[in-house]
Amino acid sequence: MIFDSGYVINKKIWEQENTRKRNYWWIYIEEILGRLGMSCKSIDIENLDNHLDSLRILFLGPDDYGKYHHALKNWVKNGGILFGFNSSSIDEIFGNKFEKKIFLQNPFSINGYLNFTGNSFLSSIKGKFPVASDVNLVTSINSKVLACFRNFPVITSRRFHNGYAFYFGFDIAKTFWVINQGRPVDMDYDGDGYLRNGDGIILKSIRLPVTDEFLFFLQNILCSCLMIPLIYHLPPLNDKDVVPDAVFFYGGDDESTRGIHFSACEFMKGLSLPYHINIMPDKNFEFAIDGEEFRKLEENNTEISLHYNFMDHFTHPAGFTEDDVGKQTKIFIEKFKKIPVCVNSHYLRWTGWYEPALWMEKYNIRGYNGKIHFRFPPVNPVNRIGFAFGTSFPFFYWTDYTYENKKIEFVDLPITFYECGYSGEKLDSGKIERAVELAANYHTISNFFYHPVYIARFDSCRKAIRKIVEIADRKNLKILHSTPDRVTQWWIERSKSKISDIELKNNTMTFNVFCTARQGIAVRIYTGNKKIIDANFPFKMKKLHSKKFLFLFIPHGENKVKIKFSL
């Protein structure tokens, strides 16, 4: 039988909320499932009855499903896998009884934290999980409690005949959205004297990538129920049939400093590392390199992109405008005859919520490497490790109700390790060790951000970068070394790749893969105790978060996959 996965939206409520100048938060489930590597269809609630028979996995959001209670119950009973997030009037399907609701007072705030029970899905989660939505608390009747909120069950699981029902008493879409994208930068919340993206941070603890951990938790739940192919979040290693342990990408901005670009470029090239420099116009809108130097740097495996200067000619704290973005973008394009791919901004200046992403995207810019890893102040939080926006994953920006909560084809690449591994002239090997271990344990796409001026002038900075390579080699890690432009392009191409027509019959699984990534993708499947007899694409087994996965390496284009398992 061929089966699909889907998520339910309510187009009528979406339109009503936007008309009232409110966000339809649930649509961000599309972003979450995309990160997870799931190919899901969007289903309007009015058409749910017509789609149930073709679905095996279904995600429900904050809506009233009372009229579908009987149909959903039978669907789960017959083998459906149901995920409900603040879904009302169907508590009985999940094996629960509703108790009370805890309302969120400020939409860009944390309502409290989940405490997880010991369960088999928790190999990835190291701490409490923050919730940024209303919370529906229940009593467990015939379900298993996976997490509590204020001593009430808030995540539960139930095996119901041939299917499964997983209850989440909060809106995961809203929670991820406001943690990852942050709150609007409309005032100097942190008091550092500037409007910077750090003003958007809502997390209190930034020690761990909390939304990444929860994503792996969802992955473990899915894998416990069903063999499902997912598009892996890391590309194959250098077009080979190898799954990397992590992706490290390197970049920094020149702050309009002359005479440092080639020294930094040659050092990175000597370590066989790619590099990326964002160049900034000075107060006279002049760059520190000319067109010939630009060309030579790119020939030497160093990407060049734009570093916006929203510091000079501004009275702080203040925002910036679409015209400010346009002026500097046009100067760059006219001078260097190239559209920048992944940009950033001096002092990590930001304004509003998503607006700069929308303005930059109009010029076909595709990414921003700048969500800070740590709080301001200090004004320049060097040699600190953090996940201030909850993730190391690239993610797309989404608009508010003004533009109907649409996804912008523009990616943020969070900073994770900023001038990591040294302070002044002193090497800090322990910090590099921790950074590499974190990246390898979570299998992240991690940004090692080093300014070219420090690479050129500080031996301690160069030692820190050498130490990254040394530690990775000592640990026998397979690292894909990359750059902001390449990661941006990969993530966008990955997002457009799809898996469809999944069929599992006897000992054979087949499915179609439409791969838009030029370097190909890896598709992962948790196979449990099944052994692989044969597959029509190269494959390997690899352990992730205590589970062994089958990885298939799929090239660019349309592909039909066939895998034979032992019975």
* H or E segment to which residue 25 belongs: none
**Average pLDDT of the residues in 216-228:** 92
Query: Do residue 20 and residue 109 come from a single domain?
Result: yes
CB 243 within 8 A of CB 551: yes
**Beta-carbon count within 10 A of 404 CB:** 14
pLDDT (tens digit per residue) in 141-173? 999 999 999 999 999 999 999 999 999 999 999
CB atoms near residue 15 (< 10 Å): 12
Does the pLDDT value for residue 546 go beyond 80? Answer: no
- Residue 220 placed within a domain: no
Relative to beta strand 395-398, strand 422-423 is unpaired
Assess whether 486 and 503 both reside in one domain.
no
- pLDDT confidence of 484, banded at 50, 70, 90? very high
Cα–Cα distance for residue pair 514/558, rounded to 1 Å: 5
How far is it, in rounded angstroms, from Cα 489 to Cα 518? Answer: 10
> Are 487 and 561 in the same domain?
no
CATH code where residue 555 lies: 2.60.40
The answer to the question of residue 364 being in a domain is yes
User: What pLDDT is attached to residue 385?
Assistant: 95
Domains identified in the chain, total number = 3
Integer Cα distance of 306 and 280 in angstroms? 6
User: Which residues sit opposite 196 in a β-bridge?
Assistant: 349
High-pLDDT (> 90) share of the chain, %: 94
The structure tokens 């973008």 sit at 329
Same domain (yes/no): 328, 430: yes
Same domain membership, residue 397 and residue 265: yes
Based on the fold, state whether residues 295 and 167 are members of the same structural domain: no
Same domain, 468 and 517: no
pLDDT digits (tens, 9 = 90+) for 321-349: 999 999 999 999 999 999 999 999 999 99
Span 53-101, pLDDT tens digits? 999 999 999 999 999 999 999 999 999 999 999 999 999 999 999 999 9
Distance CA 192, CA 145 (A): 43
Q: Which two tokens stand for residue 172?
A: 């995961």
Burial class (CB in 10 A: 0-12, 13-18, 19+), 516: middle
For position 180, what pLDDT does the model report? 99
In the chain, the amino acid numbered 134 is D
Same structural domain, 510 and 455: no
Contacts of 314 (CB under 8 A, 6+ apart): 320
SS3 330: helix
Angle made by CA atoms 528, 534, 540, in degrees to the nearest 5: 60
Instruction: Specify burial of residue 470 (Cβ count, 10 A radius: 0-12, 13-18, 19+).
Output: middle
pLDDT digit string, tens, across residues 1-17: 678 999 999 999 999 99
Is there a domain that residue 203 lies in?
A: no
Report d(CA 182, CA 353) in Å as an integer: 8
Is there a single domain that holds both residue 488 and residue 503? no
Element (H, E) at 291: helix 291-299
CATH number of 461's domain? 3.20.20.370
- Pairwise CA distance, residues 494 & 321, whole Å: 31
**What is the residue-averaged pLDDT of the chain?**
96
Helices (H), 188-248: 210-225
Contact (CB, 8 A) for 243 and 272: no
Examine the domain organization and report whether 397 and 511 are in the same domain.
no
CA-wise closest residue to 453 among 419, 413, 421, 420: 419
Which of 180, 210, 228 delimits the end of a domain? 180
Which of the four pLDDT bands, split at 50, 70 and 90, describes residue 237? very high
> Within this chain, do residues 37 and 139 fall inside the same structural domain, yes or no?
yes
pTM: 0.97
Q: In the chain, what are the helix, strand and coil shares in percent, each to the nearest 5? A: 30, 30, 40
- 185 within domain boundaries: no
The CA distance from 60 to 136, in Å, is: 14
Q: What is the pLDDT of residue 200?
A: 98
Contact 131, 175 (CB under 8 A): yes
Separation of alpha carbons 56 and 52, rounded Å:
8
pLDDT of amino acid 268: 98
Q: What is the CATH number of the domain that holds 47?
A: 3.40.50.880
pLDDT tens, 459-474?
A: 999 999 999 999 999 9
CA dihedral sign of residues 255, 259, 262, 264: negative
What would you measure as the largest C-alpha separation in the chain, in angstroms? 71
- Contact 554/515 with Cβ under 8 angstroms? yes
For residue 208, is it within any domain?
no
Give the pLDDT score at 46. 97
Q: How confident is the model at residue 120 (pLDDT cuts 50, 70, 90)?
A: low
Q: Which of 182, 219, 221 is nearest to 200 (CA)?
A: 182
Residue 143 is part of which domain span? 2-180
Residues 81 and 148 in one domain: yes
Boundary residue ending a domain (138, 154, 180): 180
